[in-house]
Amino acid sequence: MAYKRAAYSCDLHTHTNHSDGRKTPKEVIDEAAEVGLKVLAITDHDVIPPEFIDTEDGPVSVTEYARKKGIICIPGIEISCDTENEDVHLVCLGCDWKHPFFRQMEKEIQGSKLESYRTMLENFKRAGYHAEWNDMLCQTGNIRHPERIQKKQIFQYLADSGAASEWSQVKKMVQTNSELSVKRRKPDTVDIIKKIHETGGVVILAHPYLIAEPVNWQGKPITRKAYIDELIDAGLDGIEVRYTYDKTSYRGCQSKDEIAEEVRLLYGDRVAILSGGSDCHGETKEQVANPRSLGEEGITFSYMQSNQLLRNFLIKYRKTGAVFIS
């Protein structure tokens, strides 16, 4: 399969089938090499990044496999935060993945997800839609690993079952109909920033303009900008500037280029990292109307080299087998 050449050489926001992506980590790395990426961050939702991938020669560390393909692979995670607000996601990179915090966090998040997802399917079933838990697990390929199920996969299942024509419409149904929606317990944003710093990582706010206004902060409504100010005061390291807003549920009137310019203007001198990523899930046009491609958004390699925090990742993950810190 021929892939379109990446517009950016560094993509710091991507997904695999360890969460809601379609492809294995190996397949994503292979594609990244083919489209010309130099740096790839795999940031699956709420799960610790894999240490090894299976190859014909047996298990190989993720960073070693990527290195042989000419790519620096940065292991990461995208953590969904803030129970009262949608799409508050933190991309975390360069952590000590063996820190006890991650096992505990993963366990707590998986429990809250399974509880809320079962309830959501029951809500759709009561509303007259076809929505069966085991059927959903089979169709999404998670029958053996229900803990890996992601909300987007459930939206896709419901769309395929006739609730809507595509998953994004199901998402809107849930957002606008209180009888269908469920608010699951999510980690506190400020707590996550502190914990990630304790594990040696950096925290980047993903797709900031997907955060709907007003934002509920400590029991009162505030603007998105005021909310981001609070996160910066709490130690936020970076913010996603380049992002595929044109291929998401973004409902604003600004183009992705206008958003990028505004984010740079507002936060360029207030955070250490101005990040970028495609949020690619490995989908095709047959699966979604507007699939995202690796490197469609991201940052340049020159910026990666010039930024002190990001340059440290280039040094750290260029070394063989440097995924986990003991």
Confidence class for position 326, pLDDT limits 50, 70, 90:
very low
Residue 1's pLDDT is 62
Residue among 297, 324, 30 at smallest CA distance from 201: 324
DSSP state letters, 38-101? SEEEEEEETSPPPSEEEETTEEEEHHHHHHHTT-EEEEEEEEE--TTSTT-EEEEES--TTSHH
Q: Are strands 10-14 and 39-45 parallel, antiparallel or unpaired?
A: parallel
Q: What is the pLDDT of residue 162?
A: 95
pLDDT digits (tens, 9 = 90+) for 144-155: 788 878 888 899
Q: Name the token pair of 64.
A: 């070693």
| Fold (CATH) for 10-104+185-318 | TIM Barrel (3.20.20)
Supply the pLDDT for residue 2.
Answer: 67
Instruction: Return the pLDDT at 286.
Output: 77
Query: Is residue 144 within 8 Å of 159, Cβ to Cβ?
Result: no
Helix 151-160 to helix 167-176 angle (10° resolution) is 110
Least confident of 22-26, 44-48, 83-87: 83-87
Mean pLDDT in residue range 274-279:
98
Higher pLDDT, 310 or 285: 310
> Is the backbone of residue 160 left (phi > 0), alpha (psi -120 to 50) or beta?
alpha
CA gap 79, 88 in Å, rounded: 8
Mean pLDDT of the chain: 93
Nearest in space to 12 (alpha carbons), one of 79, 102, 95, 73:
73
Report the alpha-carbon distance of residue 100 to residue 94 in Å, rounded.
15
Asked whether 294 and 32 are in contact (CB, 8 A), the reply is yes
- Between 149 and 63, name the one with better pLDDT: 63
Report CA-CA distances (Å) from 3 to 25, 28, 197, 288, 296: 17, 12, 37, 17, 11
CA distance 33 to 5: 10
Per residue in 255-270, pLDDT (tens digit) is 999 999 999 999 999 9
What are the start and end residues of each CATH 3.20.20.140 domain in the chain? Answer: 10-104+185-318
pLDDT of residue 325: 36
Lowest mean pLDDT among 32-41, 158-167, 185-194, 282-291: 282-291
Q: CA 142: distance to chain centroid?
A: 19
Amino acid at 6: A
Is 90 exceeded by the pLDDT of residue 68? yes
